[in-house]
Every structure is written in structure tokens, then in C-alpha cells.
Amino acid sequence: MRILITAGPTREYLDDVRYLSNASSGRMGYALVEAALKLGHDVVLVTGPVELPPPAGCEVHAVETTGQMRDACVTAFMECDGVIAAAAVCDYRPVRRVTGKIAKTGGPITIDMIETDDVLAELGATKDGRWVVGFALEAENPRERALQKLRAKNCDWIVLNGPAAIGSVANEVELLGATGESLQTWSGTKRNVADKLLGWLHERYAKV
């Protein structure tokens, strides 16, 4: 199979030096790439800015903003059999990016924000026979919110994890199916979890 995998955070700039982002390390996405390569799959990695070297043997597209990630994913997905969307994209961006650096004024400032492109939803809406695995990092009502995300973004499966996964070398996840059923639970290092998830997918699609 040829698999698209997204990893890491995205950045949305307030001005030329400041940006909104999150603490995603990219470890989960990069571990998924390594697991897929070990099984003999072709991998396209679309990665936000992380301090990790891309695994050898995959096609790499480095991006910064959510819009850039969307463009790279839409193009790559056309030639892939499926996608695993492990990136932690920014949900909002400033309406206007200030040129230069916002100066301190001694008082509060207000920054108007709008939603960014929904990369996973667009891939789900255009999958046309391809499979889509999403990731949901949830804190409150986690299973309910993960299932809402699965259905809203037209995923085939969604991997539920919690805030403790951010920046960690380990993860604890639950794989949920389209009808809300719990299919698998895995825990351990992110490499171990990645091996389990890719092994699960490999069993279903490698012979198709």
C-alpha cells in the first residue's frame, strides 16, 4: 500500500516572530511511518515542524501552517490507498498576520481568530474508496467526542488518546470503529502502539 501519514504540529503566525502552536513532538506520526516502512508499505509523510529526523525511505513534505498541510495532503492523497492523520493541527488562526513584530502597548490587545482548514474532513469527504484513520485527543467525554469527530470527518476508524500523549514517548489509545465499537486498545511506547496499529491495518489491506 501507499500510505499518507501526517505528523507534528502546525503553526499559525500572529506576526513575523510569534505564532500559535502546540506541544506535539511528532513522535506518534514518525513511529507510524517507521512501522509502515517495516511492513513494506510506501509512505508519504507530511510533517509540521519537529525536532526529529524523517525516517529513511519515505517521501517527505515539510510544512508549517495548517493551510500548507492541507495543500500537501490533498495532493498526496490522490495517489495513496489511505491516510493516518496523526498531526496536531491548529484549529484557529489570526484573521490578519501583522508584518514585522507586534509592539507592546502597556495594555491588553485583542486578536480576531478564524477556524483553519479542516484537513481531515476534506480528506474524508474525498476518500472515494480509500480508507481514513483519524486521531482524536480528547479530555472531556473522550469517547463521545471522538465518535463525533469520526462521523463528522467521514473517518473509517479513529484513534482516541488523551492529553498525556502530547510530548510523551508513550501512549495509551483506543481504536474505535464507524459504528462506535471499541476494536482494540494498545498502550506502551509510541513505537509499540504504532506497530500494533499498522499491523492491524496490514492484516486488512495488504492482500487487497
CATH number at residue 14: 3.40.50.10300
What is the domain count for the chain? 1
Arithmetic mean of pLDDT, 116-128: 96
Q: For strands 157-161 and 170-177, give the pairing.
A: antiparallel
Has this prediction a pTM greater than 0.85?
yes
Query: One of 22, 154, 161, 192 is an active-site residue; which one?
Result: 22
Write out the residue range of the structural domain in which residue 86 sits. 2-205
pLDDT in tens, 124-144: 999 999 999 999 999 889 999
Does residue 171 have an active-site annotation? Answer: no
Mean pLDDT of the chain: 95
Neighbours of 74 (CB within 10 A): 14
**164-194 as b/e: b if 16+ CB within 10 A:** ebbebeebebbbbeeeeeeeeebeeebbebb
Q: Which band of pLDDT confidence, cut at 50, 70 and 90, is reported for residue 206? A: low
Give the H or E element holding residue 32.
Answer: helix 27-38
